[in-house]
Amino acid sequence: MVSGMSTPEMTAGLHLIGGQATRAAVGAEEQAHAQAAKSISIEDVSVSYALERSARRCVLENVSLEIEEGEFVVLLGETGCGKSTLLRMLLGQERPTAGQISVAGSRVERVDARSGYVPQRYSLFPDRTVLDNLMMGPLTSQFHILGRMRPSYWAARHAVRVEAFRQLTHMGLQASDAGKYPYQLSGGMQQRVAIAQALMMKNRVLLMDEAFSALDPATRSSLQRLLRSVWSETRPTVVFVTHNTAEALFLGTRLIVLARESKDDACGSRVALDMKLADGGMTLRSHGQQFLDLVEHVEAASCGQRRAALDVCNNGSSVTRPASESAEDGELP
Amino acid sequence: MTNLSPFDIQARPNRLLAQALSCLLFVVCIGLYMHTSIARHRENPEDRVVPNGHQLVAGIRSAEEDDYIAPDNASTWERLRHSMIWKDTASSGGRFFISLALLIPFVVLAVHIGLFPWFGAGFLRFFLFFDKIVALSLLPILFIAFGIDQWSKIALIVIGVAPTMILDVTQMVKAVPQEQIVKAFTLDANNFDVAYRVVFRQVLPQVINSLRLNLKPMMLFLFAGEMIAASDGLAYRIAIMRRHMGMDVILPYVLWVALLLFLIDFSLRVINRRLHPWFQA
């Protein structure tokens, strides 16, 4: 976890003592501090599945990423490029064939409560009302089945209920929606509740798998704005899978495009583009031609034709593309 | 709007017509029975194969009286409590409901088979094979193992129905979207929570529907057991009456069994609708 000692204190310590061992200790602490700032670490991960006649289909190949705390990372790519596979591995639902994944400082072995999850479909429990859906996480984590007989359960339940109503209104829903079942809600309302359900757990990592793909454009747009504002308030680390470039550029502070270099089964997807945006994301209205250039660039990368690393300042004036156009041999600069 | 032919998929009868149509086959069956009965009684007034109304009422009365001699002022309820049909219903009902209760652990096992890969690996193939064994062929073994008392019949019902229900419930559990299970784990649920608070709750309405579909096979196995070796029960009475050509008792018994099953099925349907309003959507 995060070390209690800040960097200036460490530097002061170095000046005062100056011993070799202390330097090493402080160095280790600095390393731990840097590690803690990394919310998600993906190290050289490859995934392949067995096909008939001992052949294998490689989905991901040597993917390495470091995602820092508070980043809004959008995973982009064509259908079948392994975006959802990577997200399932972050969740712990699947294991990589090679490499390792850490979330919140520890290795992912199974699905647990480290990350919140909002899938595209079946995001709510159909047999529970909206309120029960929201309350389920906190109550389950505090009280397992026999714990509900304890007197403290009712006090805790009341507090969770108050928080659930707060989240509900925060997501733009009415208090009267609390008693409804998911089938009585529209797709957009269901996804709002699903986001609130994940936020109720106060996770520092939120994983969203094409969460807005099944929605109409107007609802999608309003949910995108909602998600941006929710993220701006609490700054969780978000990994958002989509194949919509405009959505990715609007939401993300960092875009990662996965793409294959050939359609050969033996060749898996790699990181074709790793691009940092500033916190505000990009919008068509505010950035005009720059936005369109980026869309073109990102979509070209998703075809696996080129790789680039871009640093884009969000003030609309500077776009830096270090050696991106000349990286013909496939190596990142 | 053009009038559509009754054979058109898009044609819908109005409510009154739909209700009349649903009664039609009942009326036809009763009409055919009465016509046959009248025709046979015209040839032979003592005919017992297709009893007429008087014979049926007399048959029901005789089914109401066993060795108990009711006093003249006995109420209908008291007469009913001492009747053959009541005793037979109680005996068969007891066996039926004990079997029903014994199916519950198998439903729980099925949830585990569908959800926990280790359980699935251990049990699924066994039950896939066991399901193919004709339960009635086990009846002699059950009579040897459990005697001819009620436990052999209960065992027959459970062995006959449980494998099918296990496979059915296993499929229901497997059909629960993986997203729901993953979501539950991210909400800090443990294995027990996922199995019973998420998956079991979601499949319960389907389990009740599966049970409704299995009511008739359960009664079938019970009847098979009672007809072969029993000293009481609805099927035992029908088997006894068959020897005496007692159609005046057999027919009311058959209708009574059908009515009981219909009522159980109806109750389960109502309970399902009340308990799981979300499932009807």
> What percent of chain B stands above pLDDT 70?
96
Q: List A319's β-bridge partners, or say none.
A: A312
- Interface check B67 vs A, CB under 8 A: no
Give the mean model confidence (pLDDT) for residues A32-41.
67
Pairing of strands A237-241, A205-209: parallel
Residue A132 C-alpha, separation from nearest chain B C-alpha, in angstroms? 12
Touching B: A residues 2-41, CB under 8 Å = none
* CB-based contact B281 A183, cutoff 8 Å: yes
Instruction: Give me Rg for the CA atoms of chain A.
Output: 22
Inter-helix orientation angle B139-146/B200-228, to 10°: 90
Q: Give the whole-angstrom CA distance, residue A238 versus residue B101.
A: 48
Task: Supply the pLDDT for residue A333.
Answer: 25
Q: Give the whole-angstrom CA distance, residue B49 versus residue B34.
A: 12
* CB-based contact A141 B188, cutoff 8 Å: yes
Residue A13 has pLDDT above 60, yes or no: no
Residue A20 has pLDDT above 70, yes or no: no
Task: Supply the pLDDT for residue A292.
Answer: 65
- The three-state secondary structure class of A170 is helix
**Nearest-CA residue of chain A relative to B196?**
A145
Give the mean model confidence (pLDDT) for residues A31-56.
77
Task: Supply the pLDDT for residue A313.
Answer: 40
Nearest neighbour of B185 by CB, restricted to A112, A184, A198:
A112
Touching B: A residues 246-275, CB under 8 Å = none
Place of tokens 């219903």: B89
- Interface check B179 vs A, CB under 8 A: yes
Give the mean model confidence (pLDDT) for residues A280-293.
58
Task: Supply the pLDDT for residue A71.
Answer: 92
Residue B64 has pLDDT above 70, yes or no: no
Give the mean model confidence (pLDDT) for residues B62-69.
65
Q: Which residue has the higher pLDDT, B57 or B158?
A: B158
Q: In what order do the strands lie in the sheet with A56-68?
A: A56-68, A38-50, A98-103, A106-107
Q: Which of B116, B183, B191, B198 to mutate to test the interface with A (most CBs of A within 10 A)?
A: B183
Q: Which of B187, B196, B204 to mutate to test the interface with A (most CBs of A within 10 A)?
A: B187
* CB-based contact B281 A116, cutoff 8 Å: no
Considering A104-108, A235-239, B46-50, the range whose residues carry the highest mean pLDDT is A235-239
- The three-state secondary structure class of B178 is helix
Residue A322 has pLDDT above 70, yes or no: no
Give the mean model confidence (pLDDT) for residues A229-246.
90
Residue A328 has pLDDT above 70, yes or no: no
Task: Supply the pLDDT for residue B99.
Answer: 95
Is the separation of the CB atoms in A295 and A116 below 8 Å? no
Task: Supply the pLDDT for residue A1.
Answer: 33
Q: How confident is the model at residue A203 (pLDDT cuts 50, 70, 90)?
A: confident
Residue A92 has pLDDT above 50, yes or no: yes
> What percent of chain A stands above pLDDT 70?
72
Please give the structure tokens belonging to residue A56. Answer: 């294998």
DSSP element (H, E) containing A294:
helix A284-302
Please give the structure tokens belonging to residue B244. Answer: 């005496």
Q: What is the pLDDT of residues B103-139, one digit of tens each?
A: 999 999 999 999 999 999 999 999 999 999 999 899 8
- The three-state secondary structure class of B130 is helix
Lowest mean pLDDT among A148-152, A256-260, A281-285, B214-218: A281-285
Touching B: A residues 195-224, CB under 8 Å = 197-198, 201, 203
Question: How high is the mean pLDDT of chain B?
Answer: 90
Q: List A77's β-bridge partners, or say none.
A: A258
Shortest CA distance to A256 belongs to which of A275, A242, A284, A243?
A275
Q: Model's pTM, two decimal places?
A: 0.80
- Interface check A328 vs B, CB under 8 A: no
Q: Give the whole-angstrom CA distance, residue A20 versus residue A213.
A: 55
Q: Which residue has the higher pLDDT, A69 or A55?
A: A69
Task: Supply the pLDDT for residue A49.
Answer: 87
Q: List A41's β-bridge partners, or say none.
A: A66, A102
- The three-state secondary structure class of A319 is strand
- Interface check A125 vs B, CB under 8 A: yes
Contacts of B280 in chain A (CB under 8 A): none
Task: Supply the pLDDT for residue B59.
Answer: 80
Phi and psi (nearest 5°) for A64?
-130, 130
Residue A311 has pLDDT above 50, yes or no: no
Q: How many other CB atoms sit within 10 Å of the CB of residue B144?
A: 10
Question: How high is the mean pLDDT of chain A?
Answer: 77
Task: Supply the pLDDT for residue B20.
Answer: 95
Is the separation of the CB atoms in B212 and B268 below 8 Å? yes
DSSP state of B196: I
Q: Which residue has the higher pLDDT, A210 or B61?
A: A210
Give the mean model confidence (pLDDT) for residues A46-66.
86
Q: Which residue has the higher pLDDT, B175 or B245?
A: B175
Q: Is this prediction's ipTM beyond 0.85?
A: no
Residue A198 has pLDDT above 70, yes or no: yes
A vs B, Cβ pairs < 8 A, gives: 75
Residue B215 has pLDDT above 90, yes or no: yes
Give the mean model confidence (pLDDT) for residues A159-164.
93
Burial class (CB in 10 A: 0-12, 13-18, 19+), A239: buried
DSSP element (H, E) containing A75:
strand A72-77
Q: Which residue has the higher pLDDT, A224 or A264?
A: A224
* CB-based contact A144 B190, cutoff 8 Å: yes
Please give the structure tokens belonging to residue A108. Answer: 């992912």
Residue A15 has pLDDT above 60, yes or no: no
Q: How confident is the model at residue A143 (pLDDT cuts 50, 70, 90)?
A: confident
Give the mean model confidence (pLDDT) for residues A299-320.
48
Contacts of B196 in chain A (CB under 8 A): 145
Residue A203 C-alpha, separation from nearest chain B C-alpha, in angstroms? 9
Nearest neighbour of A127 by CB, restricted to B178, B186, B276:
B276
- Interface check B272 vs A, CB under 8 A: no
Task: Supply the pLDDT for residue A314.
Answer: 41
Task: Supply the pLDDT for residue A193.
Answer: 94
Nearest neighbour of A119 by CB, restricted to B179, B198, B202:
B179
Task: Supply the pLDDT for residue A281.
Answer: 59
Task: Supply the pLDDT for residue A301.
Answer: 67
